[in-house]
Structure 1
Amino acid sequence: MFHHSSKLQYEVRVDTPDPQFAKLLQQAIGGIEGEIRVAMQYFFQAMGARGDSRIRDMLISTATEELSHIEFLGHAVALNLEGAPVTDQEEAAKDPVVNAILGGANPRHLLSSGLSAMPVNANGVPFDMSHIYATGNIGADMLANATAEAGGRVLASRLYNWTSDAGMKDMLSFLIARDTYHQQQWLAVIEELGGMAAALPIPNSTPQDHEAMKHSYYYLNTLLDKKAPEGRWSSGPSLDGRAEFHIVDQPAPEGQEPDLGKARPNSGAQTEQI
């Protein structure tokens, strides 16, 4: 069950409408870094959240907040499209760099949505839910969520740097701030459950006798003309505390050469393959 307020979560103000920026804002709605993605990701993670009921409650609440972000971003798109002077678009199109990057305003904002937001990215491609990650494993999901929020904050920062509109900068500063919290929110769940050492390897419930442990803790250097890049990942105790990291240089193959044999008759292969 959801409740809704008639007011936006955060004030949206556009000082100078910009249909090209409206096109860019679509990435924050329907892009893989956008709000539809995280709203649906958290929602479906909540549907499969077993164990600590606090995690399900948190996921539902944050999914609902992300829906609120879609709402005010959609309003921002509409305001940027409202009454935009055609002459400004024509002037921008004279700059070959701007024209090449932006390609002008999205014609579907006029043709398909009547100068309002759509569930698409900046290229006009509809969001298809293929980037929704909900595994039913709380460790995997929390790391996926932190990554999603990191990508969202990168996008919001780039949009902030792109625009000179004070109202849009103010709105984007709010999104940047919320992404700051949400990144840490999901990592704090892992800390609440015992920290990264306890969570790794994910799933931490897999019996060790199901794992070929001799292959679990080495960095595989496949470079033939350079030494392996050394760092925290190549030496010292593993993050889960079960072993030591080390390097394996120029690894010898342990498998066989693939040979599928002859093709079956009536399989559509050439005669020479059968």
Structure 2
Amino acid sequence: MFRHQKELQYEVKVDRPDPMLARQVQEVLGGQFGEMTVMMQYLFQGFNCRGEEKYKDLLMDIGTEEIGHVEMLCALISQLLEGASPEDQAKAAEDPAIAAIMGGINPQQLIMSGLGAVPTNSNGVPWNGAYIVASGNLLADMRSNLHAETQGRLQVSRLYHMTKDEGVRTVFRKMLARDRYHQYQWLAAISELEEKNGVVVPASFPPEAEMEAQPEAYKLFNLSEGTESKEGPWARGTAQDGTGDFEYVSDPKPKGKAPKPGVPAPELHHDLTASVTDK
């Protein structure tokens, strides 16, 4: 059961309207790594979570908090759009640089939502459920959550420097602080799960099933110009699970044969002759 409370998690009060900034803020609302994504990702992971209750409770706690963050950003965008008009769209487009970069004010905020937030990114591309990860594997999901929070916090940090509005910056600082904690939280969960099950996902795949390929698990192939990659810890030392040592292969050779596909049936109109590939 969800219950809405009218008060926002943190105060939202901009210093002045700024329709161009409202468009930019849409990215951290409805973009690939926006608040809508983490909200849906954590909630679906929580809905589907089996096993220890503490993980589900954690996911539902943070997922529900993210619903509040979506509402905060909607309030922020609405305030930034206060008083915006089609004339503002035309005025913004008068500056060639702004028109080239931003294309003016987001017309959807004028046409579709009546000066409100919309579930899209900063270019008007609709939010997509394919952005979320809810695999049913806790370690895989927690790592994905860390990635989402990392990208989301990075984008808010960049937006912070794109405005001098102290009211907007106050909201961003609160979000940055919470995103920092969320990174701590996912890191802690990842560490605990790795200690329990190991660092490789999925831990449940039987090791004996890949024994014949075991030597291939530790090699770094030099497949780009330069050899600097051999200096990293991924090219020497023992693997994180302790099962083998890394090896740098400076001149890797293919171990398979060149493919020789057969000729398709004539009805496929491939325009090939049998002599091309049948030998």
Q: Structure 2 length normalisation: TM-score?
A: 0.91
Aligned pairs for 1:22-61 (under 5 A) are 22-61=22-61
Shift of 1:226: 2.0
The amino acid that maps onto 2:112 is S
Does the Cα contact within 8 Å between 2:139 and 2:194 map onto a contact in 1? no
Q: What per-residue deviation string (whole Å, max 9, x for no partner) do you get for residues 54-87 of structure 1? A: 1011111111111111101011111111114778
Asked if residue 201 in structure 1 is aligned to residue 200 in structure 2, the reply is: yes
Asked if residue 173 in structure 1 is aligned to residue 173 in structure 2, the reply is: yes
Does the Cα contact within 8 Å between 1:221 and 1:248 map onto a contact in 2? yes
The secondary structure found in structure 1 opposite 2:129 is coil
Matched with 1:117 is 117
Matched with 1:66 is 66
Matched with 1:141 is 141
Q: What per-residue deviation string (whole Å, max 9, x for no partner) do you get for residues 137-196 of structure 1? A: 11111100000000000011011110111100000001111110111111101222354x
Matched with 2:101 is 101
The amino acid that maps onto 1:98 is I
In the aligned structure 1, how far is the partner of 2:272 from the partner of 2:236?
Answer: 54
The amino acid that maps onto 1:200 is V
The secondary structure found in structure 1 opposite 2:131 is coil
Does the Cα contact within 8 Å between 1:139 and 1:199 map onto a contact in 2? no
The secondary structure found in structure 2 opposite 1:219 is strand
In the aligned structure 1, how far is the partner of 2:47 from the partner of 2:209?
Answer: 29
Q: Which range is displaced more, 87-96 or 26-35? A: 87-96
Aligned pairs for 1:234-273 (under 5 A) are 234-270=235-271, 272=273
In the aligned structure 1, how far is the partner of 2:227 from the partner of 2:192?
Answer: 39
Matched with 1:79 is 79
Q: Which range is displaced more, 94-103 or 27-36? A: 94-103
In the aligned structure 1, how far is the partner of 2:197 from the partner of 2:156?
Answer: 33
The secondary structure found in structure 1 opposite 2:246 is strand
Aligned pairs for 1:178-197 (under 5 A) are 178-195=178-195
**1:273–1:68 Cα change, 3 Å:** farther
The secondary structure found in structure 1 opposite 2:241 is coil
The secondary structure found in structure 2 opposite 1:114 is coil
Matched with 1:162 is 162
Q: Which range is displaced more, 136-145 or 231-240? A: 231-240
Shift of 1:132: 0.9
Structure 1 gaps of 5+ residues are none
The secondary structure found in structure 2 opposite 1:28 is helix
In the aligned structure 2, how far is the partner of 1:58 from the partner of 1:123?
Answer: 33
Does the Cα contact within 8 Å between 1:198 and 1:240 map onto a contact in 2? no
The secondary structure found in structure 2 opposite 1:130 is helix
In the aligned structure 2, how far is the partner of 1:79 from the partner of 1:31?
Answer: 20
The amino acid that maps onto 2:202 is P
**1:273–1:50 Cα change, 3 Å:** farther
Q: Which range is displaced more, 23-32 or 200-209? A: 200-209
The amino acid that maps onto 2:256 is G
Q: CA RMSD in A?
A: 2.0
Structure 2 gaps of 5+ residues are none
The secondary structure found in structure 2 opposite 1:158 is helix
Larger proportion of helix: 2
**1:5–1:273 Cα change, 3 Å:** farther
Among all aligned residue pairs of Structure 1 and Structure 2, give the percentage whose two residues are the same amino acid: 42
Shift of 1:198: 4.7
In the aligned structure 1, how far is the partner of 2:25 from the partner of 2:258?
Answer: 50
In the aligned structure 1, how far is the partner of 2:174 from the partner of 2:156?
Answer: 9
Does the Cα contact within 8 Å between 1:12 and 1:168 map onto a contact in 2? yes
In the aligned structure 1, how far is the partner of 2:123 from the partner of 2:89?
Answer: 18
The amino acid that maps onto 2:251 is Q
Q: Count residues with an aligned counterpart.
A: 272
Q: Which range is displaced more, 50-59 or 240-249? A: 240-249
Does the Cα contact within 8 Å between 2:84 and 2:115 map onto a contact in 1? no
